[in-house]
Amino acid sequence: MLEGNPLGRIIKNTKDGRHFSILSAQRGGLSSEENAQRHKALKKEINSLGYAHKEVEGHWQGDKEKSILVYAKGIGDHEGESLRNDMNSLGEKYGQDGVFHYHPKEEQGHVHGTNSTGWPGYGNKENVGKLTFNKKSDFQTETKPKANIPPKPGRTEKSPSRFSTE
């Protein structure tokens, strides 16, 4: 299941006890050029902190935005707490309403508020439920296969995979 399958990697990492977060630098009301610059700067900051990450597409109430899924550097709650703190700081810096964080031991996702203008509110934490895979939702994250790698013989064309919480 892991071969070229981003959902397989997410499932394996969470079963192994690795936390992950999802955040974006994009904001409505900014030009596509400004949002592209912010996204590039956020990726650079995540890289400088030494985190593995994958670009994803976030869907929120009908809108789409470039987002980044970021894995904790190691396994366990201490590594997860470091990830959450670092990503919440970046969410605050980029004016995001919140940052998604998945806690594998609890098997729950939470949105941590990183400003006071939107849900869930600065400093608040809202439980958004367990991960579900390949179900359409108004609030979902979509992973896309690498476009430059053709499917192996006997395999079908690669398509996006999605996950959300419920």
Q: What DSSP character marks residue 151?
A: P
Which of 32-36, 136-140, 161-165 is the least confident region? Answer: 136-140
Tell me whether residue 1 is in a domain. Answer: no
Q: State the pTM of this model.
A: 0.86
Average pLDDT over residues 58-68: 84
**pLDDT tens column, 65-81:** 999 999 999 999 999 99
**pLDDT tens column, 82-100:** 999 999 999 999 999 999 9
**For residue 27, what are the domain limits?**
6-165
Tell me whether residue 64 is in a domain. Answer: yes
Tell me whether residue 147 is in a domain. Answer: yes
User: For the packed helices 77-93 and 32-48, what is the interaxial angle rounded to 10 degrees?
Assistant: 150
Tell me whether residue 27 is in a domain. Answer: yes
Structure tokens, 37: 């610059």
CA angle 53, 34, 162 (to 5 degrees): 40
Q: What share of the chain is helix, strand, coil (3-state, %, to 5)?
A: 25, 30, 45
Tell me whether residue 90 is in a domain. Answer: yes
Q: How many structural domains does the chain have? A: 1
| Residue, of 158 and 69, whose pLDDT is higher | 69
